[in-house]
Amino acid sequence: MRQLLLYNPCISVAIIAWLLAQILKLLLSTWATRRVDFSRLVDSGGMPSSHTAFVAGLTSMVGYYEGWHSTLFAVVFCISLIIVYDATNLRRSAGYHAQVLNEVVPQLLTGKIIKEEFTFRRLRELLGHNPIEVFVGVILGIAVAIVFVSLFVS
């Protein structure tokens, strides 16, 4: 197992951070709703941000191995910022749109404004993250990188 993890530590840390974020998402969702919903293991949105944990872990490891002043770290860092921006802004806005549509469409169907053949399918509303969820994802990704380095790297 150690050999597999060390084959590419940057990818290993990113995947471990993502997996831990998804497991935490399941646990927090179960605690909040008092029911287990295993779809939370693969869903986007919610606390913590697995996208952010993934890129923060990757970016931390690239900085560690390639150097904090390297061009590769700069590239990975900038791409990570774009992903974090997407998680907090673009995808969150898409969630708000889905929320509005989920309220409007049933009302339109009830008022017979839309043809009766129309099949309503609820849209996913939890697509993005609030800033706290993203922040926790960053902390989780960095923490996984620190623990990984202390356990596996001499």
pLDDT digits (tens, 9 = 90+) for 14-61: 999 999 999 999 999 899 889 988 887 777 777 888 889 999 999 999
Judged against a pLDDT cut of 70, whether residue 5 lies above it is answered with yes
pLDDT of residue 112: 62
Distance CA 79, CA 76 (A): 5
Domain positions in the chain are 2-84+130-152
Judged against a pLDDT cut of 60, whether residue 118 lies above it is answered with no
Amino acid 107 reads Q
Stretch 64-84: mean pLDDT: 95
Are 10 and 65 in contact by the 8 Å Cβ rule? The answer is: yes
Q: How confident is the model at residue 62 (pLDDT cuts 50, 70, 90)?
A: very high
Which of 47, 81, 77 has the alpha carbon at shortest distance from 61?
77
